[in-house]
A and B are shown apart, each in its own frame.
Chain A
């Protein structure tokens, strides 16, 4: 369970807050998706939850250890996949320590669970974007977290890899009873996996609730300032909504990323 009260973030020496007085609770064992246009502070809020950024005001209570999956991964060193995943044990190893046999066993399990053990010896620099994302998730899993926080885990992946990552998250929620918090630019991805959703409108504006009630035509259209329609698609004997942005009818002009900062 994560509970957030009156969370506010303001960049140093700027008057307007990126987001202000956001309060919500994330239930244990659920997937929580954070959506919003560029510049509304999705990533910043996520980093506040992960303890990487100190909020300007407000309170966060987190019950459980956390694994973090960053959006980008860049080290100049060509570590092997196994080396990277073992680093997930850092919390348990200590400043002057080295990973023990037990630490390495946990890392091996994480590699096997995500189906990436077969390329454990390959240097991380030689992997595709999709493979790297699985390595990052494996590393977070190796820290044996109760909560996993992912920053746009499906961005820069092709359709197939997006599907694989989403299926993996859903599976981890079941098998590890993981609480998963993720940001995403794709409402459809939230619709596929999320139990709860937070829509960030910028400033004090936000909506939070169950994914069904949040991820609707009206709310998403308002959030992105663009008509978004739900197409009903038959899947497994059920008709499920698929969110389609009406790109052709969309707004013209410049991208509005700067709106919240101004």
Chain B
């Protein structure tokens, strides 16, 4: 029998009895606590030093305890409330969205090795954003074009993969690879055409990913995307379980496979396109975090999807905090998520080899 920590944790979580009643809540509570710690560290850490007591005073003010921002120096609360807080919220929501998308996609495609990049959305959105920068359009246009081209990429994948009124998983994956390659070429073309002193660096840095320009406007955008696309995706987690058994079995069990799969894919597209539009290409989160979450709560998507979202939020806050504190100049986010994510993923691959994906 396979004995991995994930399986044991999942087993303990469900095996009833008073002793394990605590275990049912242990993992979600632990993840929530982790998120709180990440938020506290994210608010406190930075190149501009603010005392822990002052941070607590400001946070206390948000929940109606103590003097709040009136009790600290004005610069301090400005840094915390207007710079770090929106950045933290954008990071947390993006991380939650990408991890949730990745976990859902891995179930829908019955393949634990896929991420949101797979279905071409990221590349399409990247091209949309690059185009907006190249044409010197504003932020609103960048978000709009990134979102639009992300959706377009997915629609083309849909059209290519359909045969005889159905689309197989293999055709979807292959079409995704093709469309990704196509839009990557268009991104390169945009960079080639860009002004090397001005728009080229802008495109390059945007593509590398960053939350540095986070604002409350961006918080509302990513929050809207998470509400419109993330909530339904979370709600259909049992259907994703059934879908992960394979098309034929799912259909025999009464799930309308095509419809369910496309609703999930549209939701993933919405979340991914929004996060690319806000933060550029932040890779690996959607691939690595679901694996970590699976080790904690097991493969059941009913637990896995919320756990991935929670863990993704913490993970992203942590990585972003590193990105802006490790060196005097910020490290682009996409670089850090890959440097952190790739080794973690390699270790996970070794661990789960031939054991089934717990």
Contacts and interface: CB of A to CB of B under 8 A. Distances in A.
Interface of A: 12, 47, 50-52, 66-68, 70, 73-80, 82-83, 87-88, 90-93, 95-99, 121-123, 125-126, 139, 143
A75 B246 contact: yes
A125 to B, nearest CB: 4
Given A52-B248, A78-B6, A95-B263, 7 more contacts: A90-B253, A90-B255, A95-B255, A97-B235, A122-B11, A123-B356, A126-B356
B76 interface: no
A13 B260 CA distance: 29
B245 A87 contact: yes
Q: Which of A50, A90, A121 has the most CB of B within 10 A?
A: A90
A7 to B, nearest CB: 19
B213 interface: no
A52 B110 contact: no
B94 interface: no
Interface residues of B, number: 44
Given A70-B249, A77-B244, A126 B2 contact: yes
Given A75-B245, A77-B244, A93 B238 contact: yes
B10 A76 contact: no
Interface in B105-144: 107, 110-112
A95 B260 contact: yes
Contact of A97 (B112, B238, B245, B260): B238
Contact of A78 (B2, B164, B239, B248): B2
A77 B356 contact: yes
B157 interface: no
A76 B2 contact: no
B54 interface: no
B197 to A, nearest CB: 49
Contacts, number: 112
Contact of A95 (B10, B239, B241, B302): B239
Given A12-B164, A87-B253, A75 B238 contact: no
A83 B298 CA distance: 11
Given A70-B252, A121-B15, A75 B242 contact: no
B232 interface: yes
Query: What are the 10 tightest A-B residue pairs by CB atom distance, in nearest-first order?
Result: A91-B254, A125-B356, A68-B252, A78-B356, A77-B299, A126-B1, A96-B235, A90-B253, A90-B242, A121-B11
B300 interface: yes
A200 to B, nearest CB: 21
B357 interface: yes
Given A78-B358, A79-B299, A83-B241, A52 B252 contact: yes
